[in-house]
Amino acid sequence: MAARVLQQCVRSLARPSLRLCSGNLSVRAAVAPVVTIHRPLSFVADTRRTRWLVQSRVSLAGVLCRQYGDLPPLTLETIKDRVMYVLKLYDKINPEKLQTSSHFMKDLGLDSLDQVEIIMAMEDEFGFEIPDAEAEKLMTPEEIVQYIADKKDVYE
Amino acid sequence: MASTATTRAVAGAVKVVKPIFSRDLDEAKRRVRELYRAWYREVPNTVAMFQLDITTRQGRNKVREMFDKNKHVTDPRVIDMLVIKGKMELQETIHIWKQKTHVMRYFHESEEPRAADFMSKFYKGHDP
């Protein structure tokens, strides 16, 4: 996670248009690895929280570097990565057998209460409530990604 | 909501009864899932408030065990009744009307399991 942001910093440092705030960024880049704290959480991987502590989005317009306190924008790729990461951490799922299209009940042999636990982990990860009427229909990681993308207005 | 009257079907076995909360099995299962969510979220707070000597994981496994004990039930009214009792337990736990001993009672720590085979029952003095 931190490595990706550092890469972004280096790339933006290389761009001549951002010369104005390159000094600022280099200071940030040095601070970032110290600031990311990894707290061992048993089931919920709260990758969102580590991202809060790393620096926020840099304006790509290049004129001013406003550092607003906001998360980086969600894309379908990042949503899928986070969903699969959380699912791999779940101890009742075999990480080798897990794919985006694997059905929780039929392929992975999970219970309906296990599925409730998984949906709750997704709620904790992405920070918004998923009502039970819609949660009971989400049976594969692909469906979860689609649902989150619908709710968060992420499209390609 | 509870609109079905008590009638006896002429054909025989099926009896229409007044529901407690849910009209069919799906609604009852939804209530069960809501209760499970509430308990799942409550366990870490319970462990902190009562200063229990168990981990959150153990607590959550115990919650799952209690839910799995009634997994086989199919009657919506029985499921509703069990959900009501579960909600009562949850309320008592959240408001700390219970005490540490009442919560730890679920774990049967000081009880000996009852003997199952003939010789153990004989030694203890139970009838076979």
Q: Do A116 and B37 count as a contact with CB atoms less than 8 A apart? A: yes
ipTM reported for the complex surpasses 0.90: no
Give the angle B75-B78-B79 at the CA atoms, nearest 5°: 85
Residue B44 CA to residue B57 CA, distance in Å, equals 9
Contacts of B64 in chain A (CB under 8 A): 113
A149 Cβ partners below 8 Å, 6+ apart? A74, A76, A79, A155
Each residue's pLDDT tens digit, A64-93: 677 778 888 889 999 999 999 999 999 888
Q: What is the pLDDT of residue B114?
A: 83
A32 touches A6 (CB < 8 A): yes
- Cβ atoms within 10 Å, residue B25: 13
- Cβ atoms within 10 Å, residue A71: 11
Q: What is the pLDDT of residue B16?
A: 85
From the list B29, B37, B68, the residue facing A120 with the nearest CB is B37
Contact with chain B for residue A117, Cβ under 8 A: yes
Alpha carbon of B40 to those of A19, A40, A122, B32: distances in Å? 51, 19, 14, 12
Residue A102 CA to residue B101 CA, distance in Å, equals 43
- Pairing relationship of beta strands B7-8 and B15-16 according to DSSP bridges: antiparallel
Each residue's pLDDT tens digit, B42-96: 999 999 999 999 999 999 999 999 999 999 999 999 999 999 999 999 999 999 9
Q: What is the pLDDT of residue A70?
A: 80
